[in-house]
Structure 1
Amino acid sequence: MSERTMARQVLLFIWFLSLGSALGQISYSIPEEMAKGSLVGNIAQDLGLDLKRLKSGKARVYTGDSAEYIELNKDRGVLLIKERIDREALCGQTTPCALHLQITLENPMEFYSVTIEIEDVNDNAPVFTVKEIKFDISESSLAGAKFVLGRAVDDDVGINGVQSYSLHPAHNFVLNTQDLPDGSKNVELILQKPLDREKQEHISLLLTVVDGGDPPMSGTMPIVITVEDANDNAPVCFLPVYKTSIAENSPKGTILTTVKASDADQGQNGKVEYYILKSSGVTTNLFEIDKNGGVLRLSGDTDYERVKHYQIDVQARDPGRHSDTCKVIVDVIDVNDNKPVINIMSKPSALSEDLKVGTVVTMLNALDLDSGENGKVHCSINDNVPFTLKPTANNFFSLVTDGDLDREREAEFNVSVTCADEGVPSLSSSVTLSLQISDVNDNAPVFEKSSYEASVQENNTPGVSIFTVRARDADFNQNARVSYILEDSSVNGVPVSSLVSVSADSGVIHAVRSFDYEQIKNVQFRVKAQDGGSPPLSSNVSVKIIIQDQNDNAPQVLYPVQSGGSVVAEIVPRSADVGYLVTKVVAVDVDSGQNAWLSYKLQKATDRALFEVGLQNGEIRTVRQVTDKDAVKQRLAVVVEDNGQPSRSATVNVNVALADSFPEVLSEFTDFTHDKEYNDNLTFYLVLALAVVSFLFIVSIIAILSVKCYRWRRERMFYKSGANLPVIPYYPPLYADVGGTGTLQHVYNYDVCRTTDSRKSDLKFVRPYSERIISLDTSGTQSLTNAQREKLVENLDDQVRTDALRFVAMYIFFVFNRWLLLVNANIIDIVFMITPLLQFSLFSCPKNYFGH
């Protein structure tokens, strides 16, 4: 292990000693060199943790960037040796030596600090840095002359380190040990008795060093002494200890101090040279000294985090190998040359967007190897993120939520953590955490419009696509998958599902069947958009489909009514003025808009110069006076046309009769039907119907006459018996001309019953006024004598018989004319014939005579 790593371990140990109980600190002590798998301690029991918690929390050992010597057995809840621990390789001479690690747990985030102290074992023997020491000692050297020996080095510490030195043999020399401020010993060889070169020119000694272990271990180094003559004075240092300081990372060649020593000898024997004793490998390449001047310079790089001070042994030696030793202590001054190191304790996975404020996301550790103010670290994060960084202990920070997370607003956050020390100038480092936000189904689908309206032509093809509804869901993946559902409703009592359908995936609305504008003008329904979340969220929208009319219906003529084989005739008197309204064609179109705008035009006419048709109102009027040259029978063909594209039309035929008298109409009316062909069966049924009606009419007349005669005879008997009965006045009917435009002569009274259909017209004929009026008093209740009453009854009897004969003759004449008209008519005209006959015979004429 490098010196830098050992220094970090020492710093970690010092920092974690101050973590306090907030982190749950526990300590163990184990000897070094334990075998792999050896038990360190029961961490679950000592921390009061359940084994299930260790597994569910994914417990692990965090050691930073140092080697992993300890492992956690989550099944047993114990710490075990993972790699053999060499305390000397781990900590060197630093005491105490400890491993500092953290036990981290997740869900929720927890961590505990564990300190494991490594106890030294006497597994290293003391050794000397040189294999052999040679001295040239003048025989003139006086007793008490000192010769510095190299110190022994023992990698063990404490009692296991170097404890004592011994010299063998000890005839002329003895050992003198001195304790130094750093705890080491300075060993000197002291001349006890003067030397005699003539007796012994070379002396061999053995220096033995022993440590304090049990059992103790030792090391030896041979000392070879050559006895010389002359030069019997040794150099003497001005100061036994020199102190200086240097900033770390100082450039090479920086002068530290100058060592001075003097020699009482003169000449060549008094020349002093300076050497750095190689007592430790640490200073081998870091420092150099001017051999002649004693100037000590920096020749390498210093690092306060690795070594805070150095001890340099400088030897002042004359040519006669006489020497003196002084010590130079160099203190390294810390410089802010280390940036904080940010360690992520646990990298978080995706964060749910419904996390509560204050939830711990992850934990960070910021470590600065500098000391003092240079090692104090404060951390911060970038703005505009819903997180905050809270310090939990020395250089430990928790990243917690500080606001609501909304994946739809921000799906990912890049949190930049910046840690800076308090040095001058300040150094900083940063790391970026990419935090993904997982989706929660918290948004319902939203339609692009608040309502939809579309149109489709009627008579569309079933299954045609009308339009598309769109809904967006701000969520993600399955939560944003929108399905479209047609809500149940009805249109005019018909389920909307039988009219339209909606595609669940695309929202395309199709027509299920062909629409008819005349039945349905519009279809209103609601579509629901539902996402795929759990539970699902939904919204709905109102949809209106307007059915557009097509010109698919031709005009329908309401009047005049057209029946197969029947004849409709409009009578126009020849005296009609210009603009006389003949009739009006009435038509409708079930379409709408301009498709229902109707126009009328005369397509074909017997005489185009006589009639015209109103373009908009369909009124047929005369455009000139009727002349005698104009044919009685006029046939018009009127075309009714709508305004659609393409337009549709209907044609109606109107028969017009130009006549001033009804017989003339009858004679011409038969001509309208000359060209028609009817079968013999129809004629048979018509004749049979006339015979039945006539038979029923005659039976009715006979029954009425019988009843009236019976009543008349009883009244006559009452009159003859002298009963004074009131006079029954007789008021003959007065028939007036209708509008003065009738077709019969004015000397007759008649009733004209006309309809818009000439087939339903009827006439009532009576006698002239001169034959029907009798004189009555003004009161109408004059009393008569018996003779007058008898005479009146006789007159009434004669009049009844006369009128009855006339009525029968008139009926036969009328039936004959009707038969001529109806021989070639269709079966529908039978009804129109029978109805006026019955009305005329049963309610009009007989009632005038027998109603009283």
Structure 2
Amino acid sequence: MFLTMRRQVLLFLSALCLSCALGQVSYSVPEEMTKGSVVGNIAHDLGLDLKRLKSGKARVYTGASVEYIGLNKDRGVLLIQERIDREALCGETTPCALHFQLILENPMELFRVTVEITDINDNTPSFTNAEKRFEISESAVIGSKFVLEKAFDSDIGMNGLQQYSLSPTDNFVLKLENQADGTKKVEMVLQKPLDREKQEHISLLLTAVDGGEPQMSGTMQIFVSVLDVNDNAPTFAKPLYRAKILENSPKGTSVTTVSASDKDIGSNREVSYLISSSKRLISELFKIDSKSGEIILVGEIDYEKAKNYQIDIEVVDSGGLSDSTKVIVDVIDINDNNPDINIISKSDSISEDSPPNTVIALLSVNDPDSENNGEVECNIDPNIPFKIQTTLNGFYTLVTELDREVASQYNVTVTCSDEGVPSLSSSVTLTLQISDVNDNAPVFERSSYEAYIVENNTPGLSIFTVRARDADWNQNARVSYILEDSSVNGVPVSSYVSVSADSGVIHAVRSFDYEQIKDFHFRVKAQDGGSPPLSSNVSVKIMIQDQNDNPPQVLYPVQTGGSLVAEMVPRSADVGYLVTKVVAVDVDSGQNAWLSYKLQKATDRALFEVGLQNGEIRTIRQVTDKDAVKQRLTVIVEDNGQPSRSATVIVNVAVADSFPEVLSEFTDFPHDKEYNDNLTFYLVLALAVVSFLFITCLVVIISVKIYRWRQSRVLYHSSLPVIPYYPPRYSDTLGTGTLPHVYNYEVCRTTDSRRSDCKFGGAGSQNVLIMDPSSTGTMQRMQSEKSILDEPDSPLEVGPNVVISV
């Protein structure tokens, strides 16, 4: 075996010199060689020095998942790395060869290497079925042919299947017929008439023998059952059928239809079709309708795996007579494979002042499709300073055309497209870094930002993200975000928002209230990591969005507990009479503040209605004498928020023409009690007591005033010195003392009297009722006396004046 290998290697030595000159070398080795076996001295055959192999980091590139051939750089030889099975690697393809490349660097060199794998006799001929059964009529004529199953041998050449033998040969002999594909058609021919009465069953042995050393064989047992009558075998219309089918055709596609005829009649004329190919692959891909002879695709076919299939079809009639034909199915290629791009070698970075045509990457491109579908052309973006060049078939180099250009990096996308219809393409992107200096400041994506956040948010909520980009590279392009110091309504902006230094995400520090703050501004600075660092800033505006968190507030009518407030409607009121208007506000904004008014309850719903938008309460029919005097309306005010909020207000309405009628009817209205006669008595009594007290107080005040005035006149004419004294003012407000309104007191004392003079000053309000019997004259006298009192040299204090604020 090894002598054969050496002999084959010597046959190629005459062509090695020419191969080395072209960067190619070929070897031939038998299959099943042990690991570590020497394939050839690649260094010697290529004229390379062993030092060059080491310094150039020589390596073998196969582009396949399994590397059968390896390189020993110390010896400069190619070695077997994995067991090579020619049948598993190539199948029936001849010649079987491994193609790979030897790659050197510094400088980069590429050599093609081809290793042909020769066959050895390591496979035994075998039949798919261990036995074959025939049912043959005794009337079968001499020369009748019976197609036998062919044996399968994975080996090729002399090691493959060579001949068949049949034993015994009393009734049948073996006939072999060469076919176009190089195989042999095996038929069993009747040479002596059968006699069922003498011999009903015949057993034969078919032996297949190859031509290897040592010779190997396989057998199949043939059983023949002799039948009566049927004396005509079916015959195909053609000895050879051809068909075409597109690869990737769906299962169930009809390939072609074969047809055979039989001269017999009746049941002996009925025929059935079957596939008799010995290859298992055929039965997995195709099936035939036994009645119609239609061949149907049942598997998946791929042009890249097999370009054609040969199907042996057998037709058998009911008597067991048969005929055979061959169907050749040609697979039509479609463009179903994208170009496969592999990066053999590439540089990760390059100086910006690198000379033109510097190689930065070596690519291998392959498309397994055929003809135009497999023709590939590679291109890159013409706007970048690179170009792609083809070297050997299927190999490309990417070179630079930089002319001291300054850039942080280039993403070079190589796109390879085939010439199929439609064209398929693949792409690969190479990233190349360029030496950088920090000469670019970060730039924000926008000149300013606006963001919205709904009020009542959770502290820590992410509002939005600011982003800045830096045209530099690496550390010089690493951007950090900083919140610039500023204040919002006198409060540092950092108590409102914060910014993530790494991501630029802006978070809310507190929960916002739209009713307190509607928007605010601040600035964010983006700073790179260069030395010295460069920065830029951007203005950010945050706008608070309103939420329906406030119910409507009713301004009118005012609801006071225990008070009697009623709107009067005369009985003569017409339809549409405006009774009153409910006024409400909502501190929210937008649709959250859109208010609608509805009448929820009413004493008489047929009498009143409420305007949906304006809150006006109007009559919707003519008021009659039958309508009750007391009418109570409940109005609900709703906003338009989601969910809606509401408030209710009660409106008392009196249907009457006079106040006494209202008083008599509405005394217990606010509390919805029955009319009480005792309450009227108490009201009249209280009114009389108040009137009496008022008249008494008025008389006392006038008397005191006259008395004080006379005393002041006496003091005025005396020669006693008067020292004015102005004590502080005192006030009593509603809810803190016994007086229902504000009263001011001013107390003065004279030097000759221990009696205190009291002066009741004017109230702070403009709504003042002057209670003075002398009317205008008294008021003028009070003003004149006040002017005398205000003089610092006034010898006496003016008498008391009384002002009651109502």
TM-score w.r.t. the length of structure 2 is 0.52
Q: Which residue pairs with 2:82 in the alignment?
A: 83
How far the C-alpha of 1:52 sits from its partner, in A, is 2.0
Does 2:433 match 1:436? yes
Q: Which residue pairs with 1:73 in the alignment?
A: 72
Task: Confirm or deny: 8 A CA contact 1:248 1:335 kept in the other structure.
Answer: yes
Q: Which residue pairs with 1:341 in the alignment?
A: 340
Task: Confirm or deny: 8 A CA contact 1:365 1:396 kept in the other structure.
Answer: yes
Q: Where does 1:443-842 land on structure 2 (aligned, <5 Å)?
A: none
Say which SS state the counterpart of residue 178 (structure 1) adopts. strand
Task: Confirm or deny: 8 A CA contact 1:129 1:278 kept in the other structure.
Answer: no
* Alignment deviations for residues 490-533 of structure 1 (CA, whole Å, 9 cap, x no partner): xxxxxxxxxxxxxxxxxxxxxxxxxxxxxxxxxxxxxxxxxx99
One-letter amino acid of the structure 2 residue matched with residue 345 of structure 1: I
Q: Which residue pairs with 2:725 in the alignment?
A: none
Q: Distance in 2 between the 1:21 and 1:365 partners?
A: 21
Q: Which residue pairs with 2:126 in the alignment?
A: 127
Q: Distance in 1 between the 2:201 and 2:177 partners?
A: 27
Does 2:281 match 1:282? yes
Q: Which residue pairs with 1:234 in the alignment?
A: 233
One-letter amino acid of the structure 2 residue matched with residue 263 of structure 1: D
How far the C-alpha of 1:386 sits from its partner, in A, is 1.7
* Alignment deviations for residues 783-836 of structure 1 (CA, whole Å, 9 cap, x no partner): xxxxxxxxxxxxxxxxxxxxxxxxxxxxxxxxxxxxxxxxxxxxxxxxxxxxxx
Task: Confirm or deny: 8 A CA contact 1:137 1:227 kept in the other structure.
Answer: yes
Task: Confirm or deny: 8 A CA contact 1:343 1:365 kept in the other structure.
Answer: yes
Q: Distance in 2 between the 1:231 and 1:444 partners?
A: 99
Alignment match of 1:414 (pick from 400, 411, 414): 411
Say which SS state the counterpart of residue 153 (structure 1) adopts. coil
Q: Distance in 2 between the 1:33 and 1:174 partners?
A: 38
Task: Confirm or deny: 8 A CA contact 1:23 1:111 kept in the other structure.
Answer: no
Q: Distance in 2 between the 1:59 and 1:476 partners?
A: 33
* Alignment deviations for residues 203-228 of structure 1 (CA, whole Å, 9 cap, x no partner): 11111111111221111111111111
Q: Distance in 2 between the 1:87 and 1:65 partners?
A: 16
Q: Distance in 2 between the 1:49 and 1:399 partners?
A: 26
Q: Which residue pairs with 1:262 in the alignment?
A: 261
Q: Which residue pairs with 2:62 in the alignment?
A: 63
Q: Where does 1:258-337 land on structure 2 (aligned, <5 Å)?
A: 258-337=257-336
Alignment match of 2:424 (pick from 427, 430, 442): 427
Q: Which residue pairs with 1:462 in the alignment?
A: none
- CA distance 1:273–1:405, change in 2 (3 Å): farther
How far the C-alpha of 1:476 sits from its partner, in A, is 9.0
Deviates more, 1:156-165 or 1:249-258: 249-258
Q: What is the root-mean-square deviation in Å for CA atoms of aligned residues? A: 2.7
One-letter amino acid of the structure 1 residue matched with residue 73 of structure 2: K
Q: Distance in 2 between the 1:475 and 1:199 partners?
A: 99
How far the C-alpha of 1:20 sits from its partner, in A, is 8.4
How far the C-alpha of 1:92 sits from its partner, in A, is 0.6
Say which SS state the counterpart of residue 268 (structure 2) adopts. helix
Q: Which residue pairs with 1:799 in the alignment?
A: none
Q: Distance in 2 between the 1:184 and 1:279 partners?
A: 12
- CA distance 1:362–1:139, change in 2 (3 Å): same
Q: Distance in 1 between the 2:341 and 2:22 partners?
A: 19
Say which SS state the counterpart of residue 79 (structure 1) adopts. strand
One-letter amino acid of the structure 1 residue matched with residue 250 of structure 2: P
Larger radius of gyration: 1
- CA distance 1:356–1:268, change in 2 (3 Å): same
* Alignment deviations for residues 274-324 of structure 1 (CA, whole Å, 9 cap, x no partner): 111242112112212221111112222211111100111111111111111
Q: Distance in 2 between the 1:405 and 1:369 partners?
A: 40
Q: Which residue pairs with 1:394 in the alignment?
A: 393
Task: Confirm or deny: 8 A CA contact 2:167 2:205 kept in the other structure.
Answer: yes
Say which SS state the counterpart of residue 346 (structure 1) adopts. strand
Q: Which residue pairs with 1:30 in the alignment?
A: 29
Say which SS state the counterpart of residue 71 (structure 2) adopts. strand
Does 2:150 match 1:151? yes
- CA distance 1:20–1:252, change in 2 (3 Å): farther
- CA distance 1:383–1:21, change in 2 (3 Å): farther
* Alignment deviations for residues 297-356 of structure 1 (CA, whole Å, 9 cap, x no partner): 222221111110011111111111111111111101111111100111113232233321
Task: Confirm or deny: 8 A CA contact 2:177 2:184 kept in the other structure.
Answer: yes
How far the C-alpha of 1:477 sits from its partner, in A, is 8.5
Q: Distance in 1 between the 2:254 and 2:22 partners?
A: 47
* Alignment deviations for residues 759-791 of structure 1 (CA, whole Å, 9 cap, x no partner): xxxxxxxxxxxxxxxxxxxxxxxxxxxxxxxxx
Q: Which residue pairs with 1:371 in the alignment?
A: 370
- CA distance 1:20–1:414, change in 2 (3 Å): farther
One-letter amino acid of the structure 2 residue matched with residue 129 of structure 1: T
Deviates more, 1:233-242 or 1:273-282: 273-282
Q: Distance in 1 between the 2:128 and 2:20 partners?
A: 46
Q: Where does 1:65-214 land on structure 2 (aligned, <5 Å)?
A: 65-214=64-213
Task: Confirm or deny: 8 A CA contact 1:109 1:362 kept in the other structure.
Answer: no
How far the C-alpha of 1:187 sits from its partner, in A, is 0.4
More helix, by proportion: 1
Q: Distance in 1 between the 2:373 and 2:160 partners?
A: 35
How far the C-alpha of 1:475 sits from its partner, in A, is 11
How far the C-alpha of 1:58 sits from its partner, in A, is 1.7
* Alignment deviations for residues 618-671 of structure 1 (CA, whole Å, 9 cap, x no partner): xxxxxxxxxxxxxxxxxxxxxxxxxxxxxxxxxxxxxxxxxxxxxxxxxxxxxx
TM-score w.r.t. the length of structure 1 is 0.49
One-letter amino acid of the structure 2 residue matched with residue 141 of structure 1: A
Q: Distance in 2 between the 1:23 and 1:444 partners?
A: 50
- CA distance 1:206–1:477, change in 2 (3 Å): same
Q: Distance in 1 between the 2:268 and 2:362 partners?
A: 70
One-letter amino acid of the structure 2 residue matched with residue 297 of structure 1: I
Q: Where does 1:216-227 land on structure 2 (aligned, <5 Å)?
A: 216-227=215-226
Q: Which residue pairs with 1:584 in the alignment?
A: none
Task: Confirm or deny: 8 A CA contact 1:386 1:405 kept in the other structure.
Answer: no
Q: Which runs of 5+ in 2 are unaligned?
A: 1-15, 441-471, 477-529, 532-806
Q: Distance in 1 between the 2:21 and 2:311 partners?
A: 44
One-letter amino acid of the structure 2 residue matched with residue 25 of structure 1: Q
One-letter amino acid of the structure 1 residue matched with residue 78 of structure 2: L
One-letter amino acid of the structure 2 residue matched with residue 284 of structure 1: S
Q: Distance in 2 between the 1:66 and 1:227 partners?
A: 56
Q: Distance in 2 between the 1:430 and 1:410 partners?
A: 23
Q: Distance in 1 between the 2:180 and 2:228 partners?
A: 37
Q: Distance in 1 between the 2:22 and 2:369 partners?
A: 23
- CA distance 1:320–1:191, change in 2 (3 Å): same
One-letter amino acid of the structure 1 residue matched with residue 149 of structure 2: G
Q: Which residue pairs with 1:250 in the alignment?
A: 249
Task: Confirm or deny: 8 A CA contact 2:158 2:210 kept in the other structure.
Answer: yes
Q: Distance in 2 between the 1:475 and 1:86 partners?
A: 52
Q: Distance in 1 between the 2:221 and 2:404 partners?
A: 78
Say which SS state the counterpart of residue 379 (structure 1) adopts. strand
One-letter amino acid of the structure 2 residue matched with residue 156 of structure 1: D
One-letter amino acid of the structure 1 residue matched with residue 326 of structure 2: K
How far the C-alpha of 1:21 sits from its partner, in A, is 7.4
- CA distance 1:405–1:343, change in 2 (3 Å): farther
Say which SS state the counterpart of residue 249 (structure 2) adopts. coil
Q: Distance in 1 between the 2:43 and 2:349 partners?
A: 30
How far the C-alpha of 1:252 sits from its partner, in A, is 2.2
One-letter amino acid of the structure 2 residue matched with residue 424 of structure 1: V
How far the C-alpha of 1:390 sits from its partner, in A, is 0.7
How far the C-alpha of 1:418 sits from its partner, in A, is 0.1
How far the C-alpha of 1:384 sits from its partner, in A, is 2.7
Task: Confirm or deny: 8 A CA contact 2:311 2:326 kept in the other structure.
Answer: yes
How far the C-alpha of 1:393 sits from its partner, in A, is 2.2
Task: Confirm or deny: 8 A CA contact 1:124 1:154 kept in the other structure.
Answer: yes
Q: Which runs of 5+ in 1 are unaligned?
A: 1-16, 446-473, 479-531, 534-852
Say which SS state the counterpart of residue 27 (structure 1) adopts. strand
Q: Quote the sequence identity (%).
A: 61
Task: Confirm or deny: 8 A CA contact 1:98 1:116 kept in the other structure.
Answer: yes
Deviates more, 1:294-303 or 1:332-341: 294-303
Q: Distance in 1 between the 2:298 and 2:19 partners?
A: 42
- CA distance 1:476–1:94, change in 2 (3 Å): closer
How far the C-alpha of 1:234 sits from its partner, in A, is 1.1
Q: Distance in 2 between the 1:295 and 1:367 partners?
A: 38
How far the C-alpha of 1:438 sits from its partner, in A, is 4.1
